[in-house]
Chain A
Amino acid sequence: MYSYSEFDEAFIRARVAQFSQQVERRLDGSLTEEEFRPLRLMNGLYLQLHAYMLRVAIPYGTLNPNQMRQLAHIAETWDKGYGHFTTRQNIQFNWPKLKDVPAILKALADVEMHAIQTSGNCVRNVTADHFAGAAADEIEDPRPVAELLRQWSTDHPEFQFLPRKFKIAITGSPNDRAVTRAHDIGLRMVRNAAREPGFEVMVGGGLGRTPMIAHTVREFLPKADLLPYVEAVLSVYNTLGRRDNKYKARIKITVHETGKEEITRLIEDRFAELRPLFGGNDQALLADIEAAFAPPAFRNAPTDAYDAFYAADHAFRAWADTNLTAHRNAQYAIVTISLKAHGETPGDATADQMRLMADLAEKYGHSDLRISHEQNVILPHVHKSDLPTLHAALSQMGLATANVGLISDMIACPGMDYCALATARSIPIAQQISTRFQELGLEQTIGAMKIKISGCINACGHHHVGHIGILGLDRAGVENYQITLGGDGTETAAIGEKTGPGFAYDEIVPAIERIVRAYLDLRHSAEETFLDAYRRVGAAPFKAALYGTEGEKDAA
């Protein structure tokens, strides 16, 4: 894993010192809130409904055990004993006090972490496939490139005041687990005819008020050209982006208004100017970073114990079937630890749970932990013979829920339980849906299903790309939930379609149940997933299930 250079270390420490003084000056009145607000946002500190919230970046979703333990320590010392993992591979602390924030930032710096650029109109935390470096289908580990982008974008003087925020996602696999098509820039590793690795570059994706799937501006970009190319995209956007209207300021609108052809031409022209200015230092740096991401020393040992346990233990088998993914080393598995225990808050982990996951990563997982955008924790490298012991340890701490990829493995944003921008609550809806389908005992029968819930149009809960998406709105002073169907966040990305009028807070869970029952009735076989079935039959049968057979009402 990458360790901070002297430069990184000095930069972060200087920032902590600056912000500590800024907080002091706010508290003694020498800074007004108007002056202080942009400064605190630059350091990830938001003011929410009930308290401040500190958003800490987890670069490309990668943590080591000491960092995870430090997050536990912060949660216990300055918060309420837990943290919330987000769809941006960040962790949010919901209850810090303003005067304690400098101490928290110092504690983060002690483990090479920070909250810089988790807010504001700059390049945000670069997100990556959470199975990076482990997945069987991967061409190359994308994290060295993600780290290069992190270093390049951190405090980049040209890109601190972009028209709007800017999100980059990267995957090293043809199967997209990083929702790259819904980002400002999506990078998907592919090979050219000569079998060399490079990137498909996608630009202008985004969710929010105007959801859009990114356009491919380059089918194949050689790896060595990545940084000048990304800089060219940013540079074109920085010039063209609509600074006059916040709702039209994201690059997706720039791409839409400029047209794919023209924006591609502008990017390529700018790239031609920038490319010669990159003298190779970026590649030298990348080589150093790549060395830091060398694969762990995999153990060579029999896996019979795993096979025997799998055959004998029902609970273990159920967990292995849902929560394990194929590793590139056949003796190993990728473990997804579900943070979606039924009835609990999606993405939350207590300090004790964080510490256990850190210990297990150290003992059985080559000291590697990942946070997925789906709000789960991943141990990317576990030898199969260790899985029974690992599973038993997770069970002790409420971390062995066997539901990854199933209906209760939902994404839910904080919604109006915390977020100042929310128009309705998300968390209780997620809690009720998972509890309901557990009661019904239908989860396994339903199979692969992604429900995603956002508490407002900003779509942090990725509802547009949920197989079933739920968007919480305020309709005349009452919470109301709009449903979309058929969304997809993978390499076959699609934006879900609205079904029609929304549902009240106490109607939304029964409405979801009606959709699911309609699916179970019409699917050809258990192998036909909800998304497949939706693509085959369209929205009509589901609208009938939602609104009755007398016909569809107009969309609200």
Chain B
Amino acid sequence: MSRRFIPKVVTANDLILGDAVYLTADNRWSRLHSEAELIEDEDHANARLAFGAAQKLIVVGVYLADAKPGPNGPEPVHFREEFRTRGPSNYPHGKQVETAN
């Protein structure tokens, strides 16, 4: 059974704020997971990871996280990544209030 590549997004933390950010297809760092580029191919994933990791004045701790397509763009797979898209569960702090409109 050949293992299928699980789609990925490139994610990191913003250097100054520390907030979770996601690399978009047009080379921006978005605070919204749904705006991330959903990467379906391993070579491309590695290339995008290298591209992101080179942006040392904008982000820190760049890595690939599993993701899946959703109606409004990519969605996280693992609960840790889901929490990173929201913020903590004990207070209305972080993205869940700052990026809501």
A47 CA to B13 CA, complexed, in Å = 8
Tell me whether A51 and B17 are in contact (CB under 8 A). yes
Interface residues of A in 475-489 (CB under 8 A from B): 477-479
Tell me whether A29 and B18 are in contact (CB under 8 A). no
Cβ-closest chain B residue relative to A343: B90
Cβ-closest chain B residue relative to A477: B78
Tell me whether A51 and B90 are in contact (CB under 8 A). no
Tell me whether A98 and B18 are in contact (CB under 8 A). yes
Residue B69 CB within 8 A of the other chain: no
Residue B95 CB within 8 A of the other chain: yes
Residue A428 CB within 8 A of the other chain: yes
Residue B28 CB within 8 A of the other chain: no
Tell me whether A478 and B79 are in contact (CB under 8 A). yes
Closest-CB distance, A266 to chain B (whole angstroms)? 40
4 interchain residue pairs of minimum CB distance: A417-B88, A51-B18, A52-B18, A50-B94
* Supplied contacts A50-B84, A94-B93, A431-B90, 6 more A-B pairs, CB within 8 Å: A50-B18, A50-B88, A80-B93, A98-B16, A474-B80, A477-B77
A427 CA to B88 CA, complexed, in Å = 10
Tell me whether B16 and A99 are in contact (CB under 8 A). yes
What 0/1 pattern do residues 57 to 101 of B give for CB contact below 8 A with A?
A: 100110000000000000001111001100111110111000000
A94 CA to B18 CA, complexed, in Å = 10
B binding-site residues for A, Cβ under 8 Å: 13, 15-20, 56-57, 60-61, 77-80, 83-84, 87-91, 93-95
What 0/1 pattern do residues 86 to 115 of A give for CB contact below 8 A with B?
A: 000000001101110000000000000000
Interface size, chain A (Cβ < 8 Å): 30
Q: Given contacts A50-B88, A98-B16, A428-B90, is CB(A29)–CB(B57) below 8 Å?
A: yes
A47 CA to B63 CA, complexed, in Å = 14
A residues in contact with B90, CB < 8 Å: 345, 417, 427-428, 431
Closest-CB distance, A11 to chain B (whole angstroms)? 28
Chain B interface SS verdict (over half): loop
A213 CA to B94 CA, complexed, in Å = 39
Residue A49 CB within 8 A of the other chain: yes
Closest-CB distance, B68 to chain A (whole angstroms)? 12
Tell me whether B56 and A29 are in contact (CB under 8 A). yes
Most-contacted residue by chain A among B13, B15, B88 (CB, 10 A)? B88
Residue A319 CB within 8 A of the other chain: no
Most-contacted residue by chain B among A50, A416, A427 (CB, 10 A)? A50
Tell me whether B19 and A50 are in contact (CB under 8 A). yes
Closest-CB distance, A507 to chain B (whole angstroms)? 16
A residues in contact with B15, CB < 8 Å: 26-27, 98
Closest-CB distance, A486 to chain B (whole angstroms)? 29
Cβ-closest chain B residue relative to A96: B18
Tell me whether B18 and A97 are in contact (CB under 8 A). yes
Tell me whether A50 and B20 are in contact (CB under 8 A). yes
A residues in contact with B89, CB < 8 Å: 417, 425, 427-428
A167 CA to B16 CA, complexed, in Å = 31
Tell me whether B79 and A47 are in contact (CB under 8 A). no
Tell me whether B16 and A97 are in contact (CB under 8 A). yes
Tell me whether A48 and B18 are in contact (CB under 8 A). yes
Q: Given contacts A33-B56, A50-B88, A80-B93, is CB(A417)–CB(B16) below 8 Å?
A: no
What 0/1 pattern do residues 10 to 32 of A give for CB contact below 8 A with B?
A: 00000000000000001101001
Cβ-closest chain B residue relative to A422: B80
Tell me whether A477 and B17 are in contact (CB under 8 A). no
A residues in contact with B18, CB < 8 Å: 47-48, 50-52, 97-98
Tell me whether B93 and A95 are in contact (CB under 8 A). yes
A73 CA to B78 CA, complexed, in Å = 37
Closest-CB distance, B22 to chain A (whole angstroms)? 14
Question: Could you list 11 A-B pairs, sorted by A, with CB under 8 Å?
Answer: A50-B94, A80-B93, A94-B93, A345-B90, A345-B91, A416-B83, A418-B88, A425-B83, A474-B80, A477-B77, A477-B79
A427 CA to B87 CA, complexed, in Å = 13
A345 CA to B93 CA, complexed, in Å = 14
Cβ-closest chain A residue relative to B16: A98
B residues in contact with A479, CB < 8 Å: 79
Closest-CB distance, B63 to chain A (whole angstroms)? 11
A51 CA to B94 CA, complexed, in Å = 9
B residues in contact with A51, CB < 8 Å: 17-19, 94
Q: Given contacts A33-B60, A428-B90, is CB(A49)–CB(B84) below 8 Å?
A: yes
Closest-CB distance, A245 to chain B (whole angstroms)? 24
Most-contacted residue by chain A among B90, B93, B94 (CB, 10 A)? B90
B residues in contact with A422, CB < 8 Å: 80
A425 CA to B77 CA, complexed, in Å = 17
What 0/1 pattern do residues 390 to 416 of A give for CB contact below 8 A with B?
A: 000000000000000000000000001
A residues in contact with B88, CB < 8 Å: 50, 94, 417-418, 427
Closest-CB distance, B93 to chain A (whole angstroms)? 6
A residues in contact with B91, CB < 8 Å: 80, 345
Cβ-closest chain B residue relative to A424: B79
B residues in contact with A27, CB < 8 Å: 15-16, 57
Contact partner of A416 (CB less than 8 A), chosen from B16, B61, B80, is B80
Closest-CB distance, A221 to chain B (whole angstroms)? 43
Closest-CB distance, A143 to chain B (whole angstroms)? 33
Cβ-closest chain B residue relative to A99: B16
Contact partner of B17 (CB less than 8 A), chosen from A32, A94, A97, is A97
Q: Given contacts A417-B90, A431-B90, is CB(A49)–CB(B20) below 8 Å?
A: yes
Closest-CB distance, B53 to chain A (whole angstroms)? 10
Cβ-closest chain B residue relative to A478: B79
Cβ-closest chain B residue relative to A23: B16
A428 CA to B60 CA, complexed, in Å = 28
Cβ-closest chain B residue relative to A505: B79
A422 CA to B80 CA, complexed, in Å = 9
Closest-CB distance, A506 to chain B (whole angstroms)? 13
A48 CA to B20 CA, complexed, in Å = 10
B residues in contact with A431, CB < 8 Å: 90
